[in-house]
Chains A and B, each alone.
Chain A
């Protein structure tokens, strides 16, 4: 059974159609990433799934229920990690986690959760004295304390330093390994690529592409880019039927037939004794695909 089923979801704010016919499914145990520019409708979509916002049209099923009911037992099966939502500033980390633990029928032990997000040293510190990164960890702790079956992560690593990000990713992976279904929204393409089984790109209130990150938008079969540097003073190579772009000694070749082009290129290199410094062959990155998909969509006013 699918954890989430969304069909033809629609939501309007005044004259702005924020979500227009969004459909997708999230399988149980899957990590599903929603990508899209600010105001594209991701937050609205997620908030409707969470039961926070009413929809205007379409069918939504979350863990087999309509989130509109806002049933207490249903909400106890969800975990929600949102940014920019305060926690009672005068409580300590442990008190804040313990308070929320009391809202769930079968919570994780409070100290275990604090340990899991790496806040053990701060357990007795008041929330208002935490740094930004520590507050985000607390957000995560509050999101997972109830042993959620479905976890919503809204830009969970924004503002993290690289090692904190790796820690957060490890945590997400271990939750996923434990069977938790995860819906992730993020601006970081590497994050989606590292964590998500499938991604959907949403732009102007509609889904413009969906699939595993490795093949999104046909990036696994499309054109490749060959890049290298030329030593100073070397002439640019002449290649048959392929456009060669040279900028400040950096050469970039875009082609569908990278094997043939590489063959020719390496032959030219040996023949002319010109080194191809830092030679790489790359498919489109997820970011390239994302920017292409979202560039055509006009920017929509922030819709929250």
Chain B
């Protein structure tokens, strides 16, 4: 009896994921902004002659960019795309419609998050393969630490995506506001260039989650022998941000359009 209920619930979530995937892939803008950008950035940066020869810190530029853009891909899907998408769904009444249907809230959320995990995993796999086969970048030495770092990023940035969506008034504002905040943080956090630890910029960036995520995803590649693949300090920072974001989301989340 209970087993049948579990099986029914799993089927419900699987169906939600299926329809989330359909909607995602049929929206060319969403798919390009989310998946295309990380791949294009990596290709552009890695293809320039300087990136092949140049060192960032102690390592080859390509080796620096692969984990960076893997992290970027996860953040784009879980934070940027999710936040814009949720504001859109709320303001057009999609969320209210689902709230009125018998679909349980947990199943709706499970569908959304499983969809994000799928998209994130696909991007990470793509970037690792391109980096490895096209530019000879090394794969993570410690897969467990790599997966854990990515999982922490998914949790933290999904929570942030939901929290930010609950603070934004409408679709028109959502895209630009989220885009600016996101890219400024990415820039500050050393996605495109190496940020020496304890530099002034790094100290500022350390207050935000993006740099911690980049560092946590880079660590398992073990560029430097003295660096542990488990970057617990950074993972803890991600969890703190995730917890804070969850608290905001629980307080502020709304099912209905604001204009009502």
A64 to B: closest C-beta gap in Å: 17
Q: How far is the CA of A54 from the CA of B56 in the complex (A)?
A: 57
Q: Is A102 an interface residue (CB 8 A)?
A: yes
Q: CB within 8 Å of A: which of B67-97?
A: 89, 92-94, 96-97
Quick one: given A85-B94, A86-B94, A304-B260, are A100 and B22 in contact (CB under 8 Å)?
no
| Least distance between B226 CB and chain A CB atoms (Å) | 49
Q: Chain B residues with Cβ under 8 A from A214's Cβ? A: none
Cβ-based interface call for A95 (8 A): yes
Contact present for A103 and B102 (CB under 8 Å): yes
Q: How far is the CA of A151 from the CA of B2 in the complex (A)?
A: 30
- Per the bound structure, the CA–CA distance linking A84 and B94 in Å amounts to 9
Residue B23 lies at the interface, judged by CB distance under 8 Å to chain A: yes
Contacts of B93 in A (CB 8 A): 82, 84-86
Within 8 Å of chain A (Cβ to Cβ): is B199?
no
- The CA of A95 and the CA of B99, in the complex, are separated in Å by 19
The CA-CA distance from A76 to B107 in the complex, in Å, is 15
> Which residue of chain B has its CB nearest to the CB of A102?
B15
**B23/A76 in contact, CB under 8 A:** no
CB pair B102 A95 closer than 8 Å: no
A95 to B25, CA, bound (A): 15
Bound together, the chains give a CA A146 to CA B15 distance in angstroms of 17
* List of A residues within 8 angstroms of B12 by Cβ: 102-103
From the candidates A50, A84, A90, name the one contacting B100 in the complex (CB within 8 A).
A50
A85 touches B101 (CB 8 A): no
A102 to B107, CA, bound (A): 12
CB distance from A154 to the nearest CB of B (A): 11
Query: Is A99 an interface residue, CB under 8 A from the partner?
Result: yes
Interface flag for B19 (CB, 8 Å): yes
Asked if A75 contacts B102 (CB within 8 A), the reply is yes
Known contacts A85-B93, A86-B92, A99-B15; is-contact A52 B23 (Cβ 8 Å)? no
Give how many A-B residue pairs fall within 8 Å (CB-CB). 59
Query: Contacts of B103 on A, CB cut-off 8 Å?
Result: 103
Which of A72, A76, A99, A126 has the most B CB atoms < 10 Å from its CB? A99
Q: Bound state CA distance, A161 and B107, in angstroms?
A: 38
Cβ distance B171 to chain A, nearest Cβ, rounded Å: 11
* Chain A residues numbered 91-110 whose CB sits less than 8 Å from any CB in chain B: 91, 95, 99-100, 102-104
Decide if the interface of chain B is mainly helix, strand, loop or mixed. helix
- Which size bracket describes the interface of A in this complex? 20 to 34
Q: Nearest Cβ distance between residue A68 and chain B, in whole angstroms? A: 14
Which B residues from 136 to 170 make CB contacts under 8 A with A?
none
- Known contacts: A88-B19, A90-B22, A90-B27. The answer to whether A146 contacts B100 by CB under 8 A is no
Asked whether B198 is an interface residue with its Cβ less than 8 Å from the other chain, the reply is: no
Nearest B residue to A304, CB-CB: B260
Q: Which residues of chain A (218-269) have a CB below 8 Å from chain B?
A: none
- Interface assignment of A87: CB less than 8 Å from any CB of chain B: yes
Once A86-B92, A91-B23 are accepted as A-B contacts, the answer to whether A52 and B102 lie under 8 Å apart by CB is no
Question: Pick the contact of A90 from B26, B96, B99, B260 — CB < 8 Å?
Answer: B26
- Per a CB cutoff under 8 Å, which of B22, B102, B104, B255 touches A91? B22
Report the bound CA distance from A75 to B98 in whole Å. 11
Chain B 11-42 interface residues, beta-carbon cutoff 8 Å to A: 12, 15, 19, 22-23, 26-27
B23 in complex: contacting residue of A85, A90, A100, A304, CB < 8 Å: A90
B102 touches A72 (CB 8 A): yes
With both beta carbons as reference points, the residue of chain B lying nearest to A74 in the complex is identified as B102
Q: Is A85 in contact with B96, judged by CB distance below 8 angstroms?
A: yes
Q: Which residues of A contact B92 (CB under 8 A)?
A: 85-86
Give A230 to B96 CA distance when docked, in angstroms: 56
Contact for A87 among B97, B100, B102, CB less than 8 A? B97
Given contacts A85-B96, A85-B97, A86-B94, contact A99 B104 (CB under 8 A): no
Cβ of B102 and Cβ of A146 under 8 Å apart? Answer: yes
- Whether the Cβ atoms of B100 and A82 lie closer than 8 Å is yes
Give Cα A82 to B176, complex, Å.
31
A and B contact pairs by CB, cutoff 8 A, 21 listed: A52-B99, A73-B102, A75-B100, A75-B102, A76-B102, A82-B97, A85-B97, A86-B89, A86-B93, A86-B94, A88-B23, A90-B23, A90-B27, A91-B23, A91-B26, A95-B22, A99-B19, A102-B12, A102-B15, A103-B12, A304-B260
The 7 closest A-B CB pairs, nearest first, are: A85-B93, A86-B92, A90-B26, A75-B102, A76-B102, A304-B260, A85-B97
Taking A86-B89, A99-B19, A104-B102 as given, write out 18 further A-B residue pairs in contact, using a Cβ cutoff of 8 Å, ordered by the A residue number: A50-B100, A52-B96, A52-B100, A75-B101, A85-B92, A85-B93, A85-B96, A86-B92, A87-B97, A91-B19, A91-B23, A91-B26, A100-B101, A102-B12, A103-B12, A103-B101, A103-B103, A146-B102
